[in-house]
Structure 1
Amino acid sequence: MRFFRCFLIIEILFLVFVGLACFPISAHATSYPLQAKYPEVMIYKAHTTQKVIALSFDDGPDQRFTPLILNILNKYDVKATFFLLGTRVQTYPDVAKRIYNEGHVIGNHTYWHPQLTKTGVNNMIWEIEKNEKKILSITNVKTNLFRAPYGALNEQLVKQLDVMGYRGAGWSVDSEDWKSLSSVKIKQNILNNIHPGAIILMHSAGHWTQDLTGTVLALNELIPYLKEEGYTFVTIPELWSIEHGNTNK
């Protein structure tokens, strides 16, 4: 066990070194104009020196990968934020209930997963409200947290989120796991860009052709490693409180 642990640490350090040599680190240097202009509505990261990070999972629930991810989060006592699709909450109500019952935060990810910058404000309202009713009927949770499919938002949509009483959440670290990447590549994508206050984008479900095995394997190694590096895992609402000095907005 000790040998395996040492080998894992060496492997991860190697991935970080290779990534630093080959790719620019831009996650914490990138500007987020919607958060800058609408800080009371949008968050992509928290501006903090505290080593806190938030895991987030899109497109669930399902019966293939979501339960495996929940098992790992439970194993390491980590709470995450799950942005659920209404159509999948309808299909897999027991998994949606499990997410809530195990202490994770549930967010709204629309009902059908459209690109909202193409379909417009009225469609966003319909998608959010339909999903909100479905999540509430299954989990008894009334969420006010929203993530747009593909992260696609504009100022008009953000203003409407505010009118509806929602906060929008993006991300500052993209695992790119939706590409069915290997666990090695997913770990590299995250570790090369990790920073205090990060929101990490991963997926707990996807199209039937997508294989998220790499996500499950990477998560099982990343969580203990990042904990050893001094990081604390929080939910996006907790990160919001850090960003806004523990306000309730």
Structure 2
Amino acid sequence: MKANILRALLFTLILSLVSWGATKVHAQPEKPPQLAGGSENKERIRHPVSNIILQQRYPETVVLRGGQTENKVALTFDDGPDPRFTPKILDILKEHKIKATFFLMGARADAYPDLVKRIKAEGHIIGNHTYWHPNLVTQGDISTLQSEVTKTEIRLAELSGYRTKLFRAPYGFLYNELVEKLKEMNYSVIAWSVDSLDWHESPPEQISYNVLSNVHPGAIIIMHDGAAWDEDRTNTIKALRLIIPALKKQGVTFETVPELVKIPYKK
């Protein structure tokens, strides 16, 4: 009898351990993978080659805005997917029937594949934002760019069903040789013409003002659905609820970047 009881207890313990191990395997990380180059707040104070200058040097590769003859803009979001903020932003976009463009980190796509699939399923466009979000200018070598972009491209293709042709550099930081390599890799480099500056974590009204006071026909607007561990994008979410109705009231319509700029989004 005692032997049977001991065997039963041992069997129960083994089952518990197996179950616990399965839970650990499938559990999502407690925190999103960190930004290798540092938070937006710390890194954006640097001054690499201006995207305006890069666009003048490489007009077929670097994009700042769409055509300025129609009252259309594109909302773009960087640094996701982030389970703290991306779902709420997707909810708002769905509510307003708006399609946006998301520049995703490969490491976070690996950590939260269901969010990538949701972005794709709801009709948004996915772009490449490197794997670990390094500062490509301070890293200063072509091999880092190539490995970061290629690894992310492969993973995003597995989740979205296509190899994206759109790239945005972490912090928007590039220089000539990096742009030339991206061109060789068949990428369009997507910068922006309106910066929400939401990475300052200003009040929603300030973020909204940053956009609405600078918006123009053909604007590409940059916002963030992801953040470093100690940063918060709650005010970005609140600001969207101010920005979207205000722009709609002005007769502005929303498109994805490839629609706005009339370029392909996949290779």
Which TM-score band applies after superposition, normalised by the shorter structure? 0.7 to 0.9
How far does residue 138 in structure 1 lie from its aligned partner after superposition?
2.2
- CA distance, structure 2, for counterparts of residue 138 and residue 236 of structure 1: 20
Equivalent residue, structure 2, for 1:123: 144
- CA distance, structure 1, for counterparts of residue 51 and residue 166 of structure 2: 21
Deviations 1:66-113 (A, max 9, x none): 000000000000000000001100111101110000000000000000
Check conservation: 2:85, 2:226, Cα contact below 8 A. Answer: yes
Letter in 1 for 2:61: V
Check conservation: 2:79, 2:103, Cα contact below 8 A. Answer: yes
Identical counterparts, % of pairs: 48
Equivalent residue, structure 2, for 1:155: 176
- CA distance, structure 2, for counterparts of residue 61 and residue 150 of structure 1: 16
Equivalent residue, structure 1, for 2:6: none
- CA distance, structure 2, for counterparts of residue 38 and residue 81 of structure 1: 22
Check conservation: 1:108, 1:128, Cα contact below 8 A. Answer: yes
**Map of 1:104-115 to 2, 5 A cutoff?**
104-115=124-135
TM-score (norm 2): 0.77
Q: 1:36 aligns with which of 50, 56, 62?
A: 56
Secondary structure of the 1:57 match is strand
Check conservation: 1:179, 1:210, Cα contact below 8 A. Answer: no
Equivalent residue, structure 2, for 1:66: 86
Q: 2:110 aligns with which of 90, 108, 111?
A: 90
Q: Report the CA distance shift for 1:31/1:66 in structure 2 as closer, same or farther (over 3 A).
A: closer
Letter in 2 for 1:106: I
Q: 1:46 aligns with which of 41, 54, 66?
A: 66
| Structure 1: gaps (5+ residues) | 1-29
- Tell me which structure has the larger Cα radius of gyration: 2
Q: 1:187 aligns with which of 195, 208, 219?
A: 208
67-76 or 201-210, larger mean C-alpha shift: 201-210
How far does residue 31 in structure 1 lie from its aligned partner after superposition?
8.1
Equivalent residue, structure 1, for 2:75: 55
Secondary structure of the 1:79 match is coil
Equivalent residue, structure 2, for 1:197: 218
RMSD: 1.8
Check conservation: 2:64, 2:193, Cα contact below 8 A. Answer: yes
Q: Report the CA distance shift for 1:192/1:131 in structure 2 as closer, same or farther (over 3 A).
A: same
* Count of aligned pairs between the two proteins: 216
Secondary structure of the 2:231 match is coil
- CA distance, structure 1, for counterparts of residue 205 and residue 242 of structure 2: 10
31-40 or 170-179, larger mean C-alpha shift: 31-40
